[in-house]
Amino acid sequence: MLRSGEDALAEVISKRLSAGGHDIIAQFNPRRIISTAARVDRTSIEQRPCFLCVDHLPPEEMGIPFGDEWVVLCNPSPIRPNHLSIVYRDHVPQAIAGRMETLLDLSRALGSAYLVLYNGPECGASAPDHLHLQACARDGLPVDAHIRSLAGSGGGKLERVVLAAQPELEVFVPRPYYVQLIVARSRDRGAIGRWFSSMMARLRDLTAHPSEPLINLVVVFDDPVWTVYLYPRGKHRPDRFFIQGPEQLTVSPASLDMAGILVVPIEAHFDRLSAEVAGDIYAEVTLPEEWFSVWLTVPPHPGGTGG
């Protein structure tokens, strides 16, 4: 399975698009149809065996322990090279509370060549019933290039709206951008953990979500500094995912999609994915502009997030 998945990755077709004026990568990857189109309603989950539990893994599959609670497995349907699933040993629901330090420790252990990600249970996780993280090769990640442009000499498309500038923690929002994104940087593991807890509490108050606020996370480590990309979401899947006919697009944005690698598992849908449609999808699933701006006490940028 893994060999087949890796071979298929070599045949993935990509094209560059512009979402809100920023370059992203659209990827035709038919092996991802199982994850992208996964049924994640309660009834469907209850009727299928959990494919992340050890009793249901292929008997040939083995993993590497990460601490006492996690196992690192190879993902047989990779989006990027060296795609890993980091699975909690016990069958507990997908939830980030109390787990941010694990993402930080994992990114440090893997090093700067990797990114580590978390998909919320309603934001792209195909197994919301079993706690898991993912990691993969970082090279060429669009959001990295977008944020690096902020450190240039000027003339770029983005501006930095600073939310916190402390000796141990920097937090800012890039504006204007095609999705809502909060960036935090620190070499202090504890400072990031405290910041993240406060952000989740604020998001919970804002959205009044009954469980975990809708988020995606991408974490990278450039020794000695962690960078956390936090994507607050307003919606799980775009309307185009559900409609029938020529406008249907089987796209279910998760962390990598939000970070600029938009995965489409059906070739006809990939062919009709345009820059305008990609921008519309991002604008639809991100936290609404008016909510985000009021919440951050940042004036809305003219034109919103859709570009």
Please tell me the distance from the alpha carbon of residue 204 to that of residue 232, in angstroms, as a whole number: 11
Please tell me the distance from the alpha carbon of residue 27 to that of residue 38, in angstroms, as a whole number: 18
pLDDT at 30: 85
pLDDT at 177: 93
pLDDT at 127: 87
Please tell me the distance from the alpha carbon of residue 282 to that of residue 179, in angstroms, as a whole number: 6
CA terminus-to-terminus distance, the chain: 40
User: Which one, of 278, 281, 275, 266, lies nearest residue 13 by Cα?
Assistant: 266
pLDDT at 303: 39
CATH architecture assignment, domain 2-148+155-296: 2-Layer Sandwich (3.30)
Residue type, 8: A
Please tell me the distance from the alpha carbon of residue 4 to that of residue 264, in angstroms, as a whole number: 19
Name the H helices within the chain.
2-9, 33-36, 42-47, 100-110, 142-148, 189-207, 255-258, 267-271, 275-285, 289-296
Task: Please determine, for residue 155, whether its predicted confidence score (pLDDT) is greater than 90.
Answer: no
pLDDT at 153: 46
Please tell me the distance from the alpha carbon of residue 109 to that of residue 221, in angstroms, as a whole number: 9
Q: Using one digit for the tens of pLDDT, what is the confidence trace for 94-149? A: 999 999 999 999 999 999 999 999 999 989 888 899 999 999 999 999 999 999 98
Please tell me the distance from the alpha carbon of residue 146 to that of residue 7, in angstroms, as a whole number: 30
Task: Please determine, for residue 256, whether its predicted confidence score (pLDDT) is greater than 80.
Answer: yes
Structure tokens at 214: 């809708």
Prior bond of 30 cis (ω within 30°): no
Structure tokens at 64: 């590497």
Q: Using one digit for the tens of pLDDT, what is the confidence trace for 188-246? A: 999 999 999 999 998 988 888 888 999 999 999 999 999 999 999 999 999 999 998 88
Prior bond of 238 cis (ω within 30°): no
pLDDT at 228: 98
Residue type, 70: W
36 pLDDT tier (thresholds 50, 70, 90): low
